[in-house]
Amino acid sequence: MDNDTVNRGEDAVLRRSDDGYRALVESAADAIVSADAQGRIVSWNAAAERLFGYPAGNVIGRPLTILIPEGQREAHERGLDRFLASGAARLMGRHVDLEAVRADGSVFPVELSLSTWTTDGRRFFSAIVRDITERRRTHERLARQALHDPLTGLPNRALVLDRIGQALARCERRDSSVAVLFFDVDRFKVVNDSLGHGAGDALLVLIVERLQSLLRPGDTMSRLGGDEFVVVCEEVFDIDQARHLARRLSGAFAAPFVLGEREMFATASLGIALGRPPAATPESLMRDADAAMYWAKERGRSRYEVFDEDMRAQVLRRLDTEHAMPRALERNEFRILYQPIVSLDTGTMTGVEALVRWEHPDHGLISPAEFVPIAEDNGLIVPLGSWVLRQAMEQAAEWHSQHPARADLHVTVNLSARQLQDPGLPFAVATAIDELDLDPSSVTLEITESVLMHDRDVSLARLLDLKFLGVRLAIDDFGTGYSSLAYLQRFPLDVLKVDKAFVDGVALGPEESALASAIIRLGHTLHLRTVAEGVESPEQVAHLRRLGCQEAQGFLWAQPLPPSEITACLDPGYFAA
């Protein structure tokens, strides 16, 4: 291109602006590049020099393609041809992300904003170009965080479901099946409870490293959360192949895992689901493998099970249970039983815990372990929990009225996460207290540690509202979750319950009782009343007394009882040894 042509292009750019505009362009932080309709550069500001590494004198008159990676130049030229033919550019008026190339040959991402104008019958482009390398890195990092487990770096649930979907699409072409192996580390909670979550995390990392070494190149391993993992295997032609891999994964747990100077043995329960389209979907394979894993746990742990029709029947029963629950509340099929809470000093029943049961017309008495998780999932836990709370408060008022000498008897009611998030909860409790003329301190509302952590700010606000009414607040399962000890001071609690997992070991020796002892001492330090759960032996009672625990409940004294049988337990010292 001759100098006259270049100069005419530069003159055209200069004529569309005054000195102030040119100064603004030169001082702009973003690169601003102008080109004529043939794609030749006619203007180049200082920011463009810094961004691309070319002085203006080295690029004026040269084609824009010098700024475009070689593999993309043909597409750029086709776009320019379309513009010349139609007078319209596809990128005009839009912000788009493209790849650019510097003078040193390095490729980097840019955001491009393109405009066009006409001078003396000739068309020109101007582009504002911004380096978005850091933005791209941030996006990639966030995308990876969204799809990968932060502890192990494995794909998370969302990504593994996508991988299963891709595997199912491929297996149609290869006449094979996809196997999903769902596994859970047995008694992993004990590791967290005894050695702390840092040790638990370290153990999970070691397990992942060992198992990944056993997988085929095309297999995918995913962490779903906690100690639950999934392995996805493609090109599986029969269930024996999946069983073989399950045996290999199980065998990997035979050798101990070394954490510092400590050797630890672990086992895993595995569930296998095998399928292919159209019957199988990512969700159905995950669900079936999960069901098989739980069946493996029910049958003794440290084993694997293959999903079959018997398990399918159990899944169908769950669906039946889910569909029957809304009507069950309407038909008054739920019952409340009460488990005594006993003073360890006197043997007197100081209170009761209200526990809901479902008396199904076809299946008989259904355990809350079967229907409460379903109620949490479908939202029925809020009306069900409200019903339980009101019924328990009415029963407490009745006991107080019929037995004035035991007006100190309190009733404990569990709150779910959804109930605690309900802004109407404090009003419902206040209304019941007023209508029943009930002493608020005779009502204890119990929240698990995980519920407190669900939404800390909302939980704190709701608990403060409840505390203002005068009810007592208890925390259950403390030490089994991931909260900080600092939250015990932040939340307005009155009672600290010692989980059965810690109570089980109090009579076995100093090491086994250490956690229970620490929790009880913590309760004393924070002026909280301590209640031990799941007490089953006189030896446990003796050790709990020695540790300073004040109250307890468990099968040693009574299973959950109907209200009529609680009346007989009201006498002082009824449960005294």
Measured between alpha carbons, how far is 305 from 299 in angstroms, rounded to an integer?
Answer: 9
- Percentage of the chain with pLDDT > 70? 92
**Residue 223's pLDDT band (cuts 50, 70, 90):** very high
- Local structure of residue 422 (DSSP, 8 states): -
- Measured CA to CA, the distance from residue 553 to residue 474 in angstroms comes to 14
- pLDDT tier at 326 (50, 70, 90 boundaries)? confident
Which of 354-368, 500-514, 535-549 is modeled with the greatest confidence? 535-549
**Which one has a higher pLDDT value, 496 or 88?**
496
Contact present, 572 and 542 (Cβ < 8 Å): no
C-alpha 473/C-alpha 444 separation (Å) is 5
pLDDT of residue 140: 78
In this structure, what token pair is assigned to residue 531? Answer: 């209640």
When pLDDT is averaged across residues 489-507 and rounded to a whole number, the result is: 89
- For 42, the token pair is 């006619």
Beta strand 364-366 with 410-414 is unpaired
- Which pLDDT value is given to residue 195? 82
Q: What is the DSSP letter of 238?
A: S
pLDDT grade for 399, boundaries at 50, 70 and 90 = very high
Going by C-beta distance under 8 Å and a sequence separation of 6 or more, which residues neighbour residue 448? 414, 475, 476, 477, 481
Band (414; pLDDT cuts 50, 70, 90): very high
DSSP 191: H
User: How far, in Å, CA of 44 to CA of 31, rounded?
Assistant: 8
Asked whether the beta carbons of 244 and 236 are under 8 A apart, the reply is no
Q: Which of 130-134, 206-210, 251-255, 485-489 has the lowest mean pLDDT?
A: 485-489
For residue 88, name the pLDDT band (cuts at 50, 70, 90): low
SS3 state of residue 554: coil
Residue 485 has pLDDT above 90, yes or no: no
- Among 304, 314, 297, 247, smallest CA distance to 273 is for 304
pLDDT at 325: 86
Q: Is the dihedral of CA 549, 550, 553, 558 positive or negative?
A: positive
Q: Residue 343: what pLDDT?
A: 95
Pairwise CA distance, residues 284 & 286, whole Å: 5
Per-residue pLDDT at 9 exceeds 60? no
Note the pLDDT of residue 87: 55
Domains of the chain: 3-136 (3.30.450.20), 148-307 (3.30.70.270), 321-569 (3.20.20.450)
Q: What is the mean pLDDT of residues 100-108?
A: 92
179 is written with which tokens? 């196997």
Question: Which residue type, as a one-letter code, is found at position 55?
Answer: P
pLDDT score at 487: 66
Residue 333, Cα to own-chain centre: how many angstroms?
A: 33
- pLDDT for 312 equals 74
pLDDT category of residue 446 using cuts at 50, 70 and 90: very high
pLDDT band at residue 284 under the 50/70/90 scheme = very high
Per-residue pLDDT, 14: 47
Helix (H, G, I), strand (E, B) or coil at 307: coil
User: 381-402 and 425-436 are packed helices; what angle lies between their axes, rounded to 10 degrees?
Assistant: 20
* 403's tokens: 């037995």
Q: Highest-confidence range of 47-56, 113-122, 474-483, by mean pLDDT?
A: 47-56
Using one digit for the tens of pLDDT, what is the confidence trace for 140-195? 788 777 788 889 999 999 899 999 999 999 887 778 899 999 999 988 887 887 78
Neighbours of 191 (CB within 10 A): 21
d(CA 275, CA 285): 7
Amino acid sitting at position 350 = T
Judge if the upstream peptide bond of residue 278 is cis by omega within 30 degrees of 0.
yes
130 close to 145: Cβ distance less than 8 angstroms: no
Of 82, 90, 80, the residue nearest 39 (C-alpha): 80
- What is the C-alpha to C-alpha distance for residues 44 and 57, in angstroms, rounded to an integer? 9
Q: Average pLDDT of 426-446?
A: 95
- pLDDT (mean) for 543-558: 95
What's the token pair of residue 500?
Answer: 């059965």
C-beta separation of 53 from 103 below 8 A: yes
Burial code (b: 16+ CB inside 10 Å, e: under 16) for 518-543 equals ebbebbeeeebbbbbbbbeeeebbeb
Average pLDDT of the residues in 286-309: 86
- Lowest mean pLDDT, pick from 43-52, 188-197, 412-421, 544-553: 188-197
Q: Mean pLDDT, the chain, as a whole number?
A: 86
Judged by DSSP in three states, 529 sits in strand
First-residue to last-residue Cα distance in the chain = 107
Q: Average the pLDDT over 401-414 and give the result.
A: 94
